[in-house]
Amino acid sequence: MSAPLRIEGLRVAGGTGPAIDFELPSHTGVSIVGEETSGIDALARIALGRRPPADGRIVIFDTDIRALPRSDALAFRRRVGYLPAGDGLLQNLTLRDNIALPLRFGSDFTDREIDGRLNVLLATVRLTDAARYRPAQVSDEQRRRATLARALAFDPKLVLLDQPFVGLTQRAARDIVDLARGGETADGSRRTVLALGHSLPHAIHSRFERRFRLTSDGLIPLG
Amino acid sequence: MALLQTGTRRLSTLGALARFLFQTVSSWRWLPRAGRRVVNRVYLTQVWFTALQAVPLIIVIAGIISFTVISQAVTQFGSLIGATEVIGQLMIIVIVRELGPLLTALVVVSRSGTAVAAELATNKVMGEVEALESMGIDPLHYLVLPRFAAGVVSTTSLIVVFDIVAIVAGLVAAVASDMSSERYFDLVLQNLGFQDVWVTIVKGMVFGTVLGIVPSFYGLRSRGIATDVPVASSRAVVTSIVTIFTLSALFVVVLGG
């Protein structure tokens, strides 16, 4: 089976180091950390075709999103679970409606099916009681859980976590990674997870099969 | 030199606005079927806010202006020069055809234009626009299209409300100034032609297009920093007002009203 995500000869904008080549194996959790100047902040956006790289490309499910027409690119992004830096929750919607939005917009599910899926998602991320509140009325951790639930709405095979642990306790960070992995199977985690950020809490190192640091010399394996 | 640069910048903004309008309208073609229900819900919310909640203000403005103008006209023209015939022209040409669309547009831009620009700029600051794109939702579909459609429908409807209220308020003023209601309606209907009706509707749709697109344009154009929110609102209002007044003058030149 081909890698769900491949980085091919990538140089992020302003990058002067060597081109990066990397394959993200299926059913694994991989983390890449790096300084602000390393270009780590741009990786997820480049992967989703929202920002051009200086050179090279990132291919997801054998598809370069940047090569797709806009409408196809939008539809393709629904196949990837993306937890953006910050949270990006719509402030005028409740957490429940935020999580429902991609399902209501991009699926042919009936309202009943969507409600059923929402109840499962909310229970999974332990937000059933907070679902009626708006983002400004809940804690950072609850917002992050809601964002993750939204990212998992289509039960994607690949999840990108962009600076997912900022402002979270180690326990909350562990929860986020475990929820993103979606449990364990004989092959490894149910979902393939790529976490990107400036640092990784020590308590969750064991949650990632492979860890890397992005530097001016390229991707350096850690641990 | 500075004047040339300013002119070039203005033209460039105008081009970007026209492109944004075209993109918004043509984005309808690739709106997912399921997304239409979501867009409709946002559209109805916008119509509620832009049109229905503005009705009391429109009634007050249309009523007071029409009452004042007609009672003054009946008193002044009637007692001084005995020319009450001019009341019909005043009502149709000045109030229904010119002031109605202009004042309604000003109400819409001051209530909804500022709100839409600030809301969308805030969406940008909070990373919501980027999040929408990342989960496969086109911000043009979810944020702009329903606000644009609501702008067109609301402005046109409110102009009709303004004109009806103005005619009724004019009747009250005329009767209060000892003119019979039959005489008032005679004068108004003599001056009301089919052209007045369609020019008013076309004005509503054109002004609505401006008011539906300009605030969204400036809201989404902000750079995603908090200080850009009031700037977006301010630019949206100024550009909308200048465009509306310019178009109003063009209507007079091209269509005679």
Contact B136 A75 (CB under 8 A): yes
User: Using CA atoms, how far apart are residues B206 and B226, in angstroms rounded to an integer?
Assistant: 32
Check residue A11 and give its pLDDT.
82
Taking only the tens place, the pLDDT of each residue in B25-71 is 999 888 888 889 999 999 999 999 999 999 999 999 999 999 999 98
Q: State the nearest Cα–Cα gap between A138 and chain B, in angstroms.
A: 16
Which residues are CB-neighbours of B238 under 8 A, at least 6 positions away? none
Report CB contact under 8 Å: B136, A150.
no
HSE, side-chain direction, 13 A CA sphere, residue B145: 22
Tell whether A7 is within 8 A of chain B (Cβ).
no
A88:B134 CB<8 A: yes
Name the minimum distance, in Å, from the CA of A192 to any CA of chain B.
18
**A108 → closest Cβ in B34, B126, B133:** B34
In a domain, B32, yes or no: no
Structural domain includes residue B23: no
Residue A117 forms contact with B (CB below 8 Å)? no
Token representation of residue B127: 């990373």
- So what's the pLDDT on residue B201? 92
Categorize the per-residue pLDDT at B82 as very low, low, confident or very high, splitting at 50, 70 and 90.
Answer: low
B134 contacts A77? CB cut-off 8 A: yes
Flag if B138 and A102 touch (Cβ within 8 Å): no
User: Is A143 an 8 Å CB contact of chain B?
Assistant: no
Interchain pair A150, B135: CB under 8 A? yes
Distance of alpha carbon B100 from alpha carbon B58, whole angstroms: 9
What SS3 string covers chain A? CCCCEEEEEEECCCCCCCCEEEEECCCCEEEEEECHHHCHHHHHHHHCCCCCCCEEEEEECCECHHHCCHHHHHHHHCCEEEECCCCCCCCCCCHHHHHHHHHHHHCCCCHHHHHHHHHHHHHHCCCCCCCCCCHHHCCHHHHHHHHHHHHCCCCCCEEEEECCCCCCCHHHHHHHHHHHHCCEECCEECCEEEEEECCCCHHHHHHCCEEEEEECCEEEEEC
Distance CA A215, CA A223 (A): 16
Contact B37, A104 (CB under 8 A): yes
| Number of structural domains chain B divides into | 1
Disruptive mutation site among B126, B128, B134 for chain A (greatest number of A CBs within 10 Å): B134
The size of the A-B interface in CB pairs under 8 A is 79
In a domain, B34, yes or no: no
Full residue range of the structural domain in which residue B120 is found: 39-255
Residue B43 lies in a domain: yes
Partner-chain contact B32 A102, CB within 8 Å: no
Amino acid at A7: I
For residue B136, the chain A residues in CB contact (below 8 A) are 74-78, 102, 105-106
- Asked whether residue B26 is assigned to any structural domain, the reply reads no
| Residue A5 · residue A158 · CB < 8 Å | yes
* Interface with chain B: mutation pick from A74, A87, A154, highest number of B CBs within 10 Å: A74
Cα–Cα distance measured from residue B111 to residue B236, given in angstroms and rounded to the nearest whole number: 12
Unique residue bearing structure tokens 């009452």: B67
Asked if A166 is an interface residue toward chain B (Cβ–Cβ < 8 A), one would say no
Answer for the pair A147, A89: CB distance below 8 angstroms, yes or no: yes
- A84 contacts B130? CB cut-off 8 A: yes
pLDDT tens string B116-174: 999 999 999 998 999 999 889 999 999 999 999 999 999 999 999 999 999 999 999 98
Segment B92-110 shows an average pLDDT of 93
Listed residue (A199, A191, A223, A200) closest to A210, CA to CA: A223
The answer as to whether B24 is a domain residue is no
Per DSSP, the three-state class of B45 is helix
The amino acid at residue B45 is T
| Per-residue confidence in pLDDT tens, chain A, 223 aa | 688 999 988 887 566 667 888 899 999 999 999 888 888 888 888 888 888 888 888 999 999 888 899 889 998 999 999 998 888 899 999 999 999 999 999 888 899 999 999 999 999 999 999 999 999 999 989 999 999 999 999 999 999 999 888 888 888 888 899 999 988 888 888 899 999 999 888 888 888 999 999 888 888 888 6
Indicate whether B21 belongs to any domain: no
For A128, phi and psi rounded to 5 degrees? Answer: -55, -45
Cα–Cα distance measured from residue A92 to residue B41, given in angstroms and rounded to the nearest whole number: 14
Please report, for residues A174, A183, B11, the alpha-carbon distance to residue A144 in angstroms, rounded to integers and kept in the order given: 12, 19, 43
Coil, strand, or helix at residue B216?
helix
